[in-house]
Structure 1
């Protein structure tokens, strides 16, 4: 199963999707998160082992 989770906003919008994507990946799904390319989100997703698909401009 392939899953694309997408959001645009602050860390409060991105972080829940990171957790969901991580769980989906542990269950065998190919989950990625499309979010703003802010360094904060890049680091968060890298630590979780979830690929980031850069979406739009930064939020800052």
Structure 2
């Protein structure tokens, strides 16, 4: 099963989606997250083994 999740906002908006994506991947699903291209989000998702698909402008320029 494949999932594409999107979110936009601060870490408080991205972190719950990151956790959900990681849980889906642990169950064998393919899950990627579209979120702002902030380095903080890239590190968070990368640490969980979830691909970040950059979307829009950074939240923190």
- Normalised by the shorter chain, which TM-score bucket? over 0.9
For 1:27 and 1:43, the matched residues in 2 are separated by 22
SS class of match (2:33) = strand
User: Offset of 1:19 from its aligned partner?
Assistant: 0.3
SS class of match (1:5) = strand
User: Offset of 1:54 from its aligned partner?
Assistant: 0.3
Aligned CA-pair RMSD: 0.5
For 2:56 and 2:29, the matched residues in 1 are separated by 25
Q: Which runs of 5+ in 1 are unaligned?
A: none
Length-normalised TM-score, structure 1: 0.97
- The equivalent of 1:46 in structure 2 is 46
Q: Which runs of 5+ in 2 are unaligned?
A: none
Length-normalised TM-score, structure 2: 0.95
> Number of aligned pairs?
60
Encode CA deviations 1:18-53: one digit per residue, 9 max, x unaligned.
000000001111000100000000110110110000
